[in-house]
Amino acid sequence: MSSVQEGRAAASGTPPGQRPARKRRLVLEAALVLTVLLLGLVLTSLLVGSGSSSPGRAWDYLLGDPQARADAQLRLAVLDVRLPRTLAAVLVGVCLGLAGCLLQAATRNPLAETGLLGVNSGAAFAVVCGLTFFDAESPTALLCWALAGGITASAVVLLLAASGRTAGSPLRLVLVGSALGATFHGLTSYVLLGTQSTFDTYRYWTIGSLAGVETGDLLPLLPLVLLGLGTALACSRPLSALGLGDDSARSLGHHPERVRLVVAGAVSLLAGCAVAVAGPIAFLGLLAPYAARAVAGAHMTAQLLLSALVAADVLLLADLLARIVIQPWETPVSVLLAFVGGPLLVWIARSHRMSTAGASA
């Protein structure tokens, strides 16, 4: 332990040996609170929102009341409308939380977010091509096009970033992703210029919403999400080593370039699934990891767990508010996140601790 750390430990009155135990207890307590909050939000999401059924009637349905179960309109509201978008909010939140945490740790940049790998722009371009040239208008078709476009764009970014003498470096990943994202954005605008009907559908998709999601749309994505989750957990130890610097990571037996490319692949899968379900959702993949680092410190596995829980809680809460703020209409969930995320991002960027958070990732 350095003299600075010893001084801080002495000033806090905590023996150095007890500090890791206190940190673990704090992480466990935070994870428990976030899990309980998530379960409460899931239940509230099934009781409130889409449909004209009251929370009391929805509660009776969930408890198995025969009269409530015989109500076809109530069944439609709870099982066919609220349940799918609740599951979608949890799935998308977990994906964005994990993806943002991985990307910020790999690039050592606390302001990095999934759009840097071209996922959003690639998905948008694929959706526009599907609408314009292949008449892909159903939600399932749009989901498939968005997923394919997001993953394909990320694969191109990875291939370009893996070439050359600086293969896999954080700066190269960001530069290639930004350049390819701008290219896809220009191509998307060009295709949209001559197709008004495509623009109307694309405008609804790109605003970011969980409305209209069906349970059948989520099931095919589960293997990809589980693959991304497994890769994220497998990379937690190498990413912790990267936080010490590339030279230190190499001395510990890790390969920083390979680790970053594997992480970028996992981010592509997770962010691609999220964009395919809900469209581009800004800020969540940036803010959730920041909150997780504030509690977990440099422990990468704890960061991933807390980031996933924070993002799922925030997105589910935002979706609940989106249903009730201007009833009987709905507000796109991305709009609510932007109202909160914009000012918070400015505060993070101006924070004196930002560089410290990035270094500890």
pLDDT at 353: 53
Q: Exposed, middle or buried, 335 (CB in 10 Å: 0-12/13-18/19+)? A: middle
pLDDT tens by residue, 169-222: 677 877 888 899 899 999 998 988 877 778 878 887 888 888 888 888 898 899
Q: How far apart are CA 153 and CA 179, in angstroms?
A: 11
Residue 10 pLDDT more than 80? Answer: no
CB 307 within 8 A of CB 33: no
pTM of the full structure:
0.86
* Closest by CA position to 231, among listed 221, 243, 219, 239: 239
What's the maximum distance between 2 C-alpha atoms anywhere in the chain?
70
pLDDT tens by residue, 60-75: 999 999 998 888 888 8
